Structure 1
Amino acid sequence: MENGTHLGAGEGPLERYMPAAGGNTRPYSPAMFSLTDIRGVIWRQRFILVGVVLFALAVGLTLTLLATPKYEASASVRVTSSGPDIVEGQEYLVSAGGLTRERETMSRVIQSRSMARQVVERLELHDNADFMGSDSLPEDERSVEARKFSAAQKLQDGLSAQLPPNTQIIMMSYTSSDPALAAAVVNGYAETFVTLNVQEAVEANSYARAYLEEQIAKTRNELRDAEIEAIQYARANNIVGRPMGVGSGTEGEGADAGTATTLAASTLTGITQTYTEARTRLINSEARWRMVANRPAAELPEVQRNSAVQSLQTRRGEMRSQLADLRQRYQDDYPAVRELISNMEELDRQIAETENDIKEGIRSEYEIARQQAAALAAELASVSSATLDEQDRRVQYNMLDRDVDALRSQLDDLLQRYNQITAATNLQPSNLTILDTALVPSAPSSPSLFRNMLVALIVGLGVAGGLAVLRETLEDRIRSIEDIQSKLRLHAVGQVPLVADGDVIDDVKNSFSVVSEAYASIRASIDYVTRDLEKKVLQFTSTEAAEGKTTSSLAIARSYAAVGRRVLLIDLDLRRPALHRALLQNRPKQGIVEAIYGHTALQNVVIKAEDGYDFLPIGSATPINPVEILSSGLVGEFLNKARASYDVILVDGSPVLGIADAPLLSRFVDGVIFIAEANRSPARQTRTALSRLTGVGANVIGVIVTKFQPLEAGENYKYEYSYYSYSERD
């Protein structure tokens, strides 16, 4: 890979934690809130979560055990149909319990104060000391009303009405500490509700009958007055018509449709129809006569179809046949021949006479039709004149006649509706029926242990979650390498798991341990970052003491030595040296300070470690002027001389906060490895320490997270480190 580039989306597990080649930071893209974050919060705040939830469950259990048991009894009422209508097409509404109440309205009625008052009076609950409790008052007239009012309020508080969807059923429930009282109350509600509905139906029907009787009487009087007025008007104006209501107002669709038909109008109608028929006959008979007037009678179809003519012609044919036979034997003067000829002549005369009679009948039919048409035309003119004279007088008469018809139809409708309502009163007085009565409940409906514990669990989880989030917000600590990237804007070179049992130095020396493998990965990351440096001097420091910088420097030195590098590990924590405890039994008399001041040669104070690297400790006498030593140029000169003999020089320095040693030392090294202990220092404090280093120009090449606890960070320990635990049996 070329210098100045870094891995992208396809980077491996090692490159993921390596800074970019051109600097000590890599752009960080914060991930969305993930399951890992939630899991980490739960694990870190587990004691708060468990404690608060257990406390909430204990409170819920205590309240459940201390609560008074409540029993709920239920009854159901079926709504079958609406009440009868007074006038067809119009619903009749009464006041409180109308005939066409919707189920929602019925539910409101059930839960109303007036309904509760009726149930109190029905069951005499105001005199029931067990029901009234502390509200019992002396029995005087004023206190009775007060007790009824108080009892009604208690009923309303304990009653509920439900409307199951897609049904015509109303469910009523009542809750009380007395199971028998709960059943009695809800049954009383159901019975009172049905009884009230029956009473309202009866009242509605009574009102309807009274209303209709009043309207019937009024309509009858109006009809009588209208008939008298119409008759008087017809008599005064000489209008003679058919009796009222007999065919008037319903004939045809002509100009007189919907009006009273008078005698003159009826006569005109009849004559007009007869005249029309006569004209039709005249036209037909005239056309027929004109066709036959100039034709011989024998050619007429009527003659040819006439049975008498046909019979005479048949006889004549027979006579001709006989005459032909006789002439073959006799002469014409033979008596028999003369008689037959005479008979044939008479027969021809009869045929001619019959044909002429038929033709004359056609002419007579035409003449009769013409005379009838003329007579009817004259009569039609006379009747039309009389009818025209009567039309002006008929306008007012027709209006009076229509009023009579309308009142008569209205009276018929009212009588019919009255009969329907009278029958409905006896057949269906109520549209409500009790479907199921309430039974005495055998088990309390509340308190519900399961429901209360569930509510307590939900409340406990909510409160615990809020406290956990609050603590997480206030505890801004570094827990994983992701926090290094997000909170410090630096990339980590690796992380080292926490060793729960045993000495961490033993794990460092065990090449197959989790800790040793983690530091081997960190060493590879450091090599990647410092690949441009052929020989390098690296400083290890931290925010505070005991964060793992000494162990880290020791482990990195061992890892470098394992790959054949010449390594020098220097202990420059001049205030509290610690490396010698892990590598030596006793501190030597001379060490790094003497070598810096030139009091002894480097090779005289270097100690060969058994893992293949050189170790330069601090002498037996701890310096009293560490700042003066680190401020001088002697440290830089010493490190430059040591570069010639070693590939890697690792310096275990002092912590940053509280003292100036680490910033002073960072001026003489190629890079600083910052150690951050997981779950210890707040991120704000760590940022302050890093600011002190960068303020003097230190090159912080990466951060090592020590004592990493996967569960605290929300990760799975086995997932993160199982591949480190390799052995021959695998």
Structure 2
Amino acid sequence: MPLVLSLLAILGAHRIYTAQARLLILYGGEYVFHPIGQENGGDVALDRNQIIQGELEIIQSPALAARVIQDVGIRRLYPEMPDTPLGEQQAATRLLRDLRVDGVPQSNIIEVSLRNRDRQVALEALDVIIHDYIIYHGEIFMGNRDNGPARLVAQMAARLKDANDKIVAFSLAHNISDLNQQTSIILRRAADLADEQTGIDSEIDNLDAQTKVLNGTLSTLPSRIELFTETDIGQARKTLLDRLLRLRIQLADVRQRYKNTFPLVVDIRHQIREIEIQLRKSPARETNVKRNGTSTIYEELKQQQVLLESRAAGLRSKRDAVTNDRNALQLRLAELTQLSGQYRDLQTTRDTLADSYKTLENNVEATTLSSSLSQLASANIRIVHPPNAPLQGSTLRLPLLGMGLMLGLVAAVGMLAFRVVTQKIFVTVRDVEHGLHVPVLLSIPLYEKQ
């Protein structure tokens, strides 16, 4: 069984690469403390063991391990772990298990080694550990540095935020997005409305002139005219014609029998003349049927008049709307002009603070970077041997196999001893009496044939 377990462990064993590096710890002024209130000669200095032990604690601190995990990346260092806050804590704990830091006896050298399944990852992670260790070491010893520039930057950022908030509140309160652009849009819109109103006024004047001429024409035209008339000879004229015809026939008949001077002939002629006079006075034809209606010309002109008046009314309404829009734009423009001073003051304040903040931030960053570089340059840590790892990684397969064989041999010897102890085999009479707790009455010796 131990051999089987060792074989299973051998199959699951991975090749491990160990990256190693050596650091030289120089003894600087940070290890010398100056108690307050003491005169010269009261300084306290740490010995070599205390210094080395302090450096070992710094390089193996969980805070440094967490920083290394963030810089290297949990997916890069331990791909099987989840990229979560809990996973980062577990990765930091595992990194501390894989990291080994030892002080070389009788020297100020620290040997740092890191194990990983990937050789390149082990080298990169160890390099990051050394770099972060030097930075973290400087932060610890420079922990009492003045934070005045950072506080000043924070105060300037707060003032800049307050200025931006005031501009936003002022813009929301007065419906201002971009003052210059908004003013330009209003002016351009007002000019467009003025041109449109001028065009509308011109068109209205034209329509009014056309309507006036049309009204004068309509006033001279009758609205109703005679559409159809049917005429015929009147009944009185017909009677006169019939009577005239009979008199002429009678005159012709009488003249054949009498002379022209005969009284009857004279009387008939007199009647004929009277009838002819009446016929000349009476109209030749009389109207029997007469139909009147609306004049088509009048109707067309009337419709044109209605269209012109409707169009003029629509244009007047449109002009009123344009006038109202122009008035509203003028009021808005006057309001923006009145508010422009306050808005520009707020913008000037904001821009001034922004420039000051940017300049201050750049100066603080440059100072911080210079301080960090100076701190790195003056650190009391030197890299004696940079991170290096063998090309062939180590594996636990042979030790596991040897341990399995050893455990198997021990188990076999133990089982054999247990079997010998528990198996009841009697060699002598005393063994029988001692094992069975009964007396032996007879013992027959066994002789082998020669």
- The alignment's TM-score, normalised by the length of structure 1, stands at 0.26
Highest RCO, 1 vs 2 (Cα 8 Å, sep ≥ 6) = 2
